């Protein structure tokens, strides 16, 4: 599936398929003496679709925050779009963990998504920014809700709005932190359909502790429990996933789009 779609969608860009957009090398992170990430080395390529699996507290969110330059590593190097995370992160769309949000915050859907176009002080928002907001809300099928206060949305709807905020940046890399938490199975399915569409336009890295919700579309799986146990092609199979989840971890295969593309 993924194979065929990749080839069709990128007939001309096959050559740049292997371009590395994020490179972590030997990254260590510790909080208050306890090691959260240890020697994490991973490359993320253009058009990758990676699921980072692992138990709670395994360092998954920390990994995303290291890529975003929110947490400086104690050791190791982080390169984002060939530069520092602080510079490169402007090209990343980020969907943080849903639970963090104050649903009572006096803000409308439009205003939230507009923040995806935020560039810094004194720059303001332009008409173009507002058009991109409309477009992003369209993509997540939330255009009718622009004037709603966020507290009036269901969990799945708010999750879509937050995704629209990330998309409004027109990112080249999408980082999703537990996107499936607190949304019902129907919504999860349509969320994955959306991902499948988006994945043609950008690289996607998704963090989840719930293997059950992993999409068939996911091309690669990385298992993180302090150390990155493996990163490679995914292969469906509950057995392998369970093994992975128990950590120490194995990799699971599920189609080989990158290998196919590599031959070109």
Partner 1 sequence: MLEILQYEFMRNALMASVLVSIACGVVGTYVVVKRIVFISGGIAHAAFGGIGLGYLLGVSPILTAIPFSLVSAVAIGVLGHRERISEDTSIGILWAMGMALGIIFIGLAPGYAPDLLSYLFGNILTVPVTDLYMMLALDIVILGTVAVFYQDFLAISFDEEFATVSGAPSRALYMLLLCLVALSVVVLIRVVGVILVVALLTMPAAISRQFTSRLDRLMALSVLVGMVLTVAGLWLSFVLDLASGATIVMVLGTAFLLTSSLHRPSTA
Question: Residue numbers of the site for partner 1 (CB under 8 A)?
Answer: 32, 65, 68-70, 89-90, 92, 94, 96, 100-108, 111-112, 115-116, 118-122, 124-125, 148-149, 151-152, 165, 169
CB of 102 to partner 1, least distance (A): 8
CB of 81 to partner 1, least distance (A): 13
What are the structure tokens assigned to 173, written together?
């890399």
Rounded to whole angstroms, how far apart are CA atoms 189 and 91? 27
Nearer to partner 1 among residue 90 and residue 262 (C-beta): 90
What are the structure tokens assigned to 225, written together?
């429990």
Nearer to partner 1 among residue 102 and residue 144 (C-beta): 102
Nearer to partner 1 among residue 162 and residue 219 (C-beta): 162
CB of 264 to partner 1, least distance (A): 34
Nearer to partner 1 among residue 88 and residue 257 (C-beta): 88
Q: Answer whether 69's CB lies under 8 Å from 89's CB.
A: yes
Q: CA 29 → CA 33, 34, 178, distances in Å?
A: 10, 9, 20
Nearer to partner 1 among residue 148 and residue 201 (C-beta): 148
CB of 124 to partner 1, least distance (A): 7
CB of 70 to partner 1, least distance (A): 6
Q: Answer whether 167's CB lies under 8 Å from 134's CB.
A: no
Nearer to partner 1 among residue 3 and residue 170 (C-beta): 170
CB of 105 to partner 1, least distance (A): 6
């Amino acid at each position: 599936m993924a194979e065929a779609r990749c080839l069709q969608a990128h007939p001309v860009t096959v050559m740049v398929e292997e371009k590395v957009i994020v490179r972590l090398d030997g990254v260590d992170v510790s909080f208050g003496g306890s090691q959260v990430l240890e020697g994490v080395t991973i490359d993320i390529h253009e058009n990758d679709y990676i699921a980072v699996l692992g138990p709670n507290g395994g360092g998954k969110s920390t990994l995303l925050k290291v890529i975003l330059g929110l947490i400086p590593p104690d050791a190791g190097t982080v390169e984002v779009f060939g530069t520092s995370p602080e510079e490169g992160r402007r090209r990343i769309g980020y969907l943080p963990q849903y639970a963090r949000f104050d649903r009572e915050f006096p803000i409308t859907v439009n205003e939230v998504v507009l923040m995806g176009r935020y560039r810094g002080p004194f720059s303001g928002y332009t008409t173009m920014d507002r058009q991109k907001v409309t477009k992003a809300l369209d993509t997540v099928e939330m255009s009718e809700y622009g004037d709603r206060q966020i507290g009036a949305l269901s969990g799945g709807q708010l999750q879509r709005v937050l995704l629209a905020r990330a998309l409004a940046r027109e990112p080249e890399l999408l980082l999703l932190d537990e996107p499936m938490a607190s949304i019902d199975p129907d919504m999860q399915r349509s969320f994955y359909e959306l991902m499948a569409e988006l994945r043609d336009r950008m690289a996607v890295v998704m963090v989840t502790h719930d293997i059950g919700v992993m999409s068939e579309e996911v091309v690669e799986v990385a298992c993180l429990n302090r150390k990155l146990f493996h990163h490679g092609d995914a292969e469906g199979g509950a057995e392998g996933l369970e093994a992975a989840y128990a950590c120490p971890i194995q990799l699971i295969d599920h189609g080989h789009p990158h290998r196919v593309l590599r031959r070109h």
